[in-house]
Structure 1
Amino acid sequence: MTDGGWIPPKVWTWDTQSGGRFANINRPIAGPTHDKALPVGKHPLQLYSLGTPNGQKVTILLEELLELGHGGAEYDAWLIQIGKGDQFGSGFVEINPNSKIPALSDHSGPTPVPVFESGAILIYLAEKFGAFLPTAPAERARCLSWLMWQMGSAPFIGGGFGHFYAYAPEKLEYPINRYSMETKRLFDVANRRLAESRYLAGDDYTIADMAAYPWLRVLQSGEAYDNAAAFLSLNEYTHVARWVGEIDARPGARRGRMVNRTSGKPEEQLHERHDASDFALRTQDKLEPAGEQN
């Protein structure tokens, strides 16, 4: 940048004071920062996550599988508090060298199978249980195409628009304009598709919808980034709104949004999930005194 703006040095160096809100956890290297083994519960599937849109993708799928009667999809969901750096513990890094949630460990076989990246976990579980991923080549390709569309889109919405609009230490016109444009373009992509199709991949609800829904929903509802829905005029995307409403009504999706969630209404927060009864017995409104609820 010129005209009095910041001029990049010839060689970049890490300044721990310039990281903004996330300076305490951001760093330019990988690997663990401390030794910490991960807990293992009673179910074959062990999930280590946080109820962000990326984390919700997997818990929605797991709850949808249970809704279909797949008892083998029972799982323990352990809370990873990324603001405290839990993702840099040695046990977590062993499953996910990239230190991002969610991470899954499948203990149903003789040796645990680690899976990381939300899209990879969705595919792994859909194939394991034979649900929510078409098997016919054309339909499978369309589903995976929309899944990868979402995986490629999330950084523009979250790390791009969300960061510069809501989290950056100062408001900068250029990046906010740049990522606002891209976020609205992505909504338009989805809106045009959903104008001609009930779900992203066609007539059937699939992992492509489970991947895109938490991200588009949290913006469209106004819950994310200081009510960015008004700033971006997201009410314009009526087909996205129809699709969000339809998935909102699904019991599995409703439960999945609650798991590992630590913000919002206390009755919608289930910090950890170890049994189906936890939704009735262990949400935060039942665990915290009234004066301590969010």
Structure 2
Amino acid sequence: MTSSTAAAPPAAPTAVPPIAVVVAGALGRMGAEVVKAVTAAPDCRLVGAIDSTPGKEGADVGLELGLGELEVAVTADFEGCLCQASQAVRSAGPGQGAVLVDFTHPKVVFEHTRGAIAYGVHPVIGTTGLRPEQLADLATFADKASVGGAVIPNFSVGMVLLQQAAAAAARFYDCAELTELHHNRKADAPSGTCIKTAELMEDLGKAFNPAEVEEQETLAGCRGGLRESGLRLHSVRLPGLVAHQEVMFGAAGETYTLRHDTIDRSAYMPGVLLTVRRVRQLPGLVYGLERLL
């Protein structure tokens, strides 16, 4: 007589917990868009809203942004919020840590990024203004802490395509100037995006804009900021603008212009969510959205 045992039913797949996200600068223009995108994403969960706007401490961030009650209170306590977010996912396992999305101010972005790494929270930094030596310091710190992070000067896929096109065109043109245009509430100039574009063009190791005449500015700064490579960067700040960039190349008998215009901040959200979803698997700190595409 042959006995048989019934096969055990397949184990149900383990549900993947949503990504715990803290937004710094939650009531600002970009931060508000991030809060909306995170709450609408089924694989993300808003667990913290940091903002220093007077009179908003303890307010429900959802009610403040017209999203309905989210049961997430606005707080100005940056470290306290990071600590709470870190503790909330401490038993989730490797690659399941909390994520900080920061759109605050150049004066605090270095401390915010370093603080996130110290608490084991993966930083996604959209705030510009970090100096090269600060980026190097943060990269070293992230490596030692084994915390993945991303510093993204611009989350627009279209801008990444412009930057790649500018780097390709720089092989064929010796003369080029860059102009970036932003709203008049942007604190740093030139923008991190414009600097990143120049850096990609400079990766060729060539010099730009050979002198044809001895220039003399009759108004200081009118020719823009001069980089060691010879590239010149110009900044415009006006109400009504969002974020725009133009790279103009010149040669005998022709000009070649690349331009990207951000019409609405919602254009950045696909790039923000892509970075949030990938940052926890990064081995260290990366710089630029192109590193994730």
Calculate the TM-score normalised by the size of structure 1: 0.27
Tell me which structure has the larger Cα radius of gyration. Answer: 2
**Which structure dedicates a bigger proportion of its chain to strand?**
2
Calculate the TM-score normalised by the size of structure 2: 0.27
**Which structure dedicates a bigger proportion of its chain to helix?**
1
Q: Which has the higher contact order (CA 8 A, sep 6+)?
A: 1
